[in-house]
Amino acid sequence: MHASGAGVETATFGAGCFWGVEAAFRQVQGVRTSAVGFMGGSLDHPTYEDVCYRDTGHAEVVEVTFDPDVVSYEQLLEVFWANHDPTTLNRQGPDIGEQYRSAIFVRGAGQAAAAASSKAALERSGRFRRPIVTEIVPAGPFYRAEEYHQQYLEKRGLSTCHI
């Protein structure tokens, strides 16, 4: 999927509250940077307030850049699946709304194939009794959330989203 020494690649995941998801990805060796923001909707340059209180179509997402020589995209998919419930439509725990949907925003055929294969393997595994509702869609523009959302849990000395 990459040439050796190719530098960094980008992956974007929506898995509910972006604070906890970002914290999980930041612990992965090979992840170089992370940012929380919004993707998948129709409003250009949305704010957190827009996404929470208007019908923007955006999901809360975490965008990570990673070194594919250290961590594979497939390994990042494993982190994604392990850190949320992919069977709840537009909901994660107490957070309800389209912005909390389970989504993998792919860049190119390689990511699309890996995401589809990973989802199919998880469906076959029997780990979940309900169907997996995660959407796999092409990445669009990433809109970085306000600075106070970046590394939110780290700034507060926390490790999970809902305490």
CA distance 86 to 109: 22
Residue pair 1/27 in contact by the 8 Å Cβ criterion: no
Range name among 25-29, 51-55, 93-97, 98-102 with the lowest pLDDT average: 93-97
| CATH classification (class only), 9-155 | alpha beta
CA distance 36 to 22: 7
Where do the structural domains in the chain lie, given as residue ranges? 9-155
Dihedral of CA atoms 15, 20, 22, 26 in degrees, nearest 10, equals -130
DSSP conformational letter for 132: P
Summarised one tens digit per residue, pLDDT across range 110-160 is: 999 999 999 999 999 999 999 999 999 999 999 998 766 676 566 666 655
Residue 17: active-site member: yes
pLDDT at 152: 57
Annotated active-site residue in 11, 15, 17, 161: 17
Enter the pTM of the model. 0.87
- Residue 95's nearest CA partner among 59, 123, 63, 125 is 59
Summarised one tens digit per residue, pLDDT across range 47-56 is: 999 998 989 9
